[in-house]
Amino acid sequence: MFRAVFQIRSSFRFVAQTFTGKTNLSATSVIPSLFTNLQARHKHEEAEADADEFDKDPNGPPRLFVVQPRFRPDAILKIKLDEALNLANSLEEQRDGYYATTFAEKELPPHLVVQNPAYRITRADTFFGPGTVDNIKCHLNAEDSKGGVDAVFVNGILTGVQQRNLERKWGKAVLDRVGLIIEIFHAHAQTKEAKLQAELAALMYKRSRLVRMRGIDGRFTFGAPGEAEVVSARGRGSGGRGFISGAGETELQLQRRRIIERRNHLLSEIKEVRRTRAIQRASRKRHGGSHGQDMPTVAIVGYTNAGKSTLVSALSDTYLFSDNRMFATVDTKVRNVILPSGKKVLLSDTVGFISDLPVQLVEAFHATLEEVAEADLLVHVLDSSAPNRDEQKESVLQVLQQIGVSKEKLQNMIEVWNKIDLEPDETAVSKQIEEDVDDDSEDWLSPEDGEVKWDDASASFVGWKASEPDQTNPNDLDTSHLEVGSGDQPKDVSNRDQTKPDEPSISHLQVRSGDQPKDVWNSRGVLKGDSEYEPDVKTSALTRVGLQELLHLIDDKLKTEETVERNVFERKWRPPRDHDTGVVVG
Ligand SMILES: Nc1nc2c(ncn2[C@@H]2O[C@H](COP(=O)(O)OP(=O)(O)OP(=O)(O)O)[C@@H](O)[C@H]2O)c(=O)[nH]1
Ligand SMILES: [Mg+2]
């Protein structure tokens, strides 16, 4: 069965050994898992998690409890929650080339929708307010009686301090969105290059999580008691005075140094793998081309799960692994395809993108992404059935810009709407959404208030106006206990004091409406920004619809590109001149 938990545990051991200097760094080591600190800390905190929890089922995928901050309208919440649940279920590692579980048959992970701290005040220490933290703890206790969960996935971005505090309060490892995505990349990576890159991303993420904490005795420390103590003689006599001189290295400094050493090691390995790949790529381009020309490369890009691998498989009549799991592909695969004109091209299927793609991943996967940026033509595959199709499109465009794809290439990019066999009944969807919007319209602030901004890309508010909660109105208090996930969740876990003032509901905070909700949705029932434009081509990779049309389009684009290139060359070419004299040189 699944090895991730096992690996997570072994990575803990590895990191523990590495950071205490008991082992040598090795290229095949697993990533410094996000669960590791927790285990170390909890050895000293009896009231908190049982550290042996992770030993429970070393053969199964980790069981995550999903915490989804609330969004309004509910349609947005549903999109965010669906994605969070999919992410949580995607964390699984292949064994002998197979996943132990079939994704479609997986049960939904237990989950809970809670107040969104972004809608009011995000607490620096615990992200959520104390009422929400307690409420989640109640649910986790209830889960424990049913076999327990290994970790809590908070679908938001936490600071290192928030993560640690929540871990202490809940007695569970906590993963935020960035952490989980990095874990998934690591679990799904198959090739040496992808594994190295995923480890690098995890290492950089871990580095950003090394935080100074107040220990149980009230003193500041760096994690487990004793971590702040001097653990190595390095730095002794380095020239300072008094305490500074000869103080040696604290655990934190030691961890930082080891992370940097490992990072440098990984970077040099990645460089080597990259060099080999560049040679292979050049030779592949040369060998397939006709008339001595290189084969053009076409990179298939898009949001995760859009159907890129399925499309490349269908176009090339070869097999590529495809799955409903998010980030099923982490390793780039290249396939030969013959276009209708007879021209041969290289089609590359690569890693998918997601909103808030961790910067650590973009940096670590730079080599892979660079191939995308260097491709002669890009094909952007979108899942036409996704209700937030344009939001996904925006996320992809952002990453493409981030990795340096030129404006011309973006303009020339072919946009494909895949999964047209799944296209939802638009009338029904938009009707439902409009109903939701009307229902919620009272709750929204008007942008004219100047106190709220709608961020189309992330579908979230930035800034807002909070009214005082009506403490006498139960609807104005924490309602998170009502929004429980999987059917078997306890219904009565939140018998907290409903008049507790620390956790007013968000409902009162999403005050009057301007025309905000109407602006957010269009008639198709998708997020604002979704226009009624048509894509270049519509396909169903599964039923092989639209494939010929797409191949013709690629053919045309590449022809145009050649012509443009030749024209540019002809126009630009002239004998080099000496600028000062105007005399033709040579
Ligand atoms: N109904 C339908 N399903 C599709 C179509 N194309 C792909 N799928 C399914 O969508 C899921 C994701 O497909 P993939 O090809 O793995 O998607 P991807 O874009 O490569 O995803 P990542 O590798 O995770 O980035 C799989 O279960 C496919 O069977 C399509 O045209 N119609
Ligand atoms: Mg794929």
Pocket test for ligand 1, best of 301, 310, 323 (most atoms within 8 A of CB): 310
Residue owning the nearest CA to atom 14 of ligand 1? 307
Between 20 and 546, the higher pLDDT residue: 546
Residue nearest ligand 1's atom 30 by CA = 419
Mean pLDDT of all residues in 63-81: 92
271 Cα–ligand 2 center, Å: 24
Closest CA to 198 of 60, 367, 22, 9: 367
The residue to mutate among 106, 190, 323, 379, having the most atoms of ligand 1 within 8 angstroms of its beta carbon, is 323
Query: Which ligand has its closest atom nearest to the C-alpha of 381?
Result: 1
Q: Does the pLDDT of residue 199 top 80, yes or no?
A: yes
Q: Which of 313, 325, 399, 542 to mutate to test the pocket of ligand 1 (most atoms within 8 A of CB)?
A: 542
Distance from the CA of 123 to the center of ligand 2, in angstroms?
37
Q: How far does the centroid of ligand 2 lie from the alpha carbon of residue 470, in Å?
A: 49
Ligand that comes closest to the CA of residue 550 = 1
216-232 pLDDT tens trace: 555 544 444 444 444 44
Order of strands, edge to edge, in the sheet holding 537-538?
333-338, 344-349, 297-302, 377-383, 414-418, 537-538
Quick one: which atom of ligand 1 is closest to the CA of 351? 25
Among the atoms of ligand 1, which is closest to the Cα of residue 305?
A: 21
- Asked whether residue 50 carries a pLDDT value surpassing 50, the answer given is no
Q: Say whether pLDDT at 468 is over 70.
A: no
Average pLDDT over residues 512-523: 35
Q: If DSSP codes are grouped into helix, strand and coil, which group holds residue 127?
A: strand
Orientation of helix 426-440 relative to helix 74-90, angle to 10°: 110
539 CA: nearest ligand 1 atom: 31
Q: Ligand 1: which residue has its CA nearest to atom 21?
A: 305
pLDDT greater than 60 at residue 477: no
For position 220, what pLDDT does the model report? Answer: 47
Confidence at residue 124, expressed as pLDDT on a 0 to 100 scale: 83
Q: Which one of the ligands is nearest to 326 CA?
A: 1
Q: How confident is the model at residue 305 (pLDDT cuts 50, 70, 90)?
A: very high
Q: Contact at 8 Å (CB) between 176 and 184?
A: no
Pocket test for ligand 1, best of 83, 103, 188, 305 (most atoms within 8 A of CB): 305
Atom of ligand 1 nearest to the CA of 312: 15
Name the pTM for this structure.
0.71
Average pLDDT of the chain is 70
The answer to whether 229 and 254 are in contact (CB under 8 A) is no
pLDDT of residue 300: 97
pLDDT of 252: 73
- Contact status, residue 478 vs residue 132, Cβ threshold 8 Å: yes
Q: Is the pLDDT of residue 90 over 90?
A: yes
Confidence tier at 146 by pLDDT (50, 70, 90): confident
Q: How far is the CA of 377 from the centre of ligand 1 (A)?
A: 21
Residue 152, strand partner residues:
65, 174
Cα(381) to ligand 1 centroid in Å equals 10
Rounded CA-CA distance 445/465 in Å is: 8
What pLDDT, on the 0 to 100 scale, is given for residue 284? 73
The ligand with the least distance to the CA atom of 328 is 1
* Least confident piece of the model among 44-58, 256-270, 428-442, 471-485: 471-485
Atom of ligand 1 nearest to the CA of 310: 15
CA angle (71, 76, 81) in 5-degree steps: 80
Q: Which atom of ligand 1 lies at the shortest distance from residue 545's CA?
A: 31
Tell me, letter by letter, the H, E, C secondary structure of 180-230: HHHHHHHHHCCCHHHHHHHHHHHHHHHHHHCCCEECCCCCEECCCCCCCCE
Distance CA 541, CA 80 (A): 25
Task: Assign 460 a pLDDT band (cuts: 50, 70, 90).
Answer: very low
Q: From the alpha carbon of 422, which atom of ligand 1 is closest? A: 1
Query: Atom 23 (ligand 1): residue with closest C-alpha?
Result: 329
Q: Which of 159-163, 220-224, 256-260, 573-577 is the most confident on average? A: 159-163
Q: What is the pLDDT of residue 480?
A: 33
Ligand 1 atom closest to 325 (CA): 24
101-111: pLDDT as tens digits: 888 888 899 99
Interval 422-443: pLDDT, tens: 965 443 333 443 443 333 333 3
Using the predicted structure, report yes or no on whether residue 68 has a pLDDT greater than 70.
Answer: yes
Q: Greater confidence, 153 or 193? A: 153
Cα–Cα distance for residue pair 520/76, rounded to 1 Å:
10
Report residue 213's pLDDT band, with 50, 70 and 90 as the boundaries. Answer: low
Pocket of ligand 1, beta carbon within 6 A: 302, 304-310, 322-324, 326-329, 352, 418-419, 421-422, 540-542
Residue 120: Cβ within 10 Å count = 18
295 C-alpha to center of ligand 1: Å?
27
- Centre of ligand 2 to C-alpha 309, Å, is 4
The 10s digit of each residue's pLDDT in 271-284 is 888 888 778 777 77
Please give the residue that has the higher pLDDT: either 278 or 551.
551
Closest atom of ligand 1 relative to the 326 alpha carbon: 24
How far is 202 from 489, CA to CA, in rounded Å? 32
Percent of the chain with pLDDT over 90: 39
Q: Per-residue pLDDT averaged across 134-141, rounded?
A: 95
Question: In angstroms, what is the span from residue 103 Cα to ligand 2's centroid?
Answer: 14
Ligand 1, atom 7: closest residue by C-alpha: 307
How many whole angstroms from 218 Cα to the centroid of ligand 2? Answer: 48
- CA of 159 from ligand 2 middle (Å) equals 30
Q: Which residues contact 376 (CB under 8 A, 6 or more apart)?
A: 296, 297, 298, 558, 561
- How far is residue 259's CA from residue 324's CA, in Å, rounded to a whole number? 34
Ligand 2 centre distance from Cα of residue 149 (Å): 28
| Residue 321 alpha carbon to ligand 2 centre in Å | 7
Question: Is pLDDT above 70 for 139?
Answer: yes
CA–CA separation, 66 and 85 (whole Å): 7
User: Whose C-alpha lies nearest to ligand 1, atom 11?
Assistant: 324
Residue with the bigger pLDDT between 330 and 239: it is 330
Whole-number Å distance, alpha carbon 316 to ligand 1 midpoint, is 15
- What's the 46 CA to ligand 2 centre distance in angstroms? 43
Q: Angle, to 10 degrees, between the axis of helix 192-209 and the axis of helix 366-374? A: 120
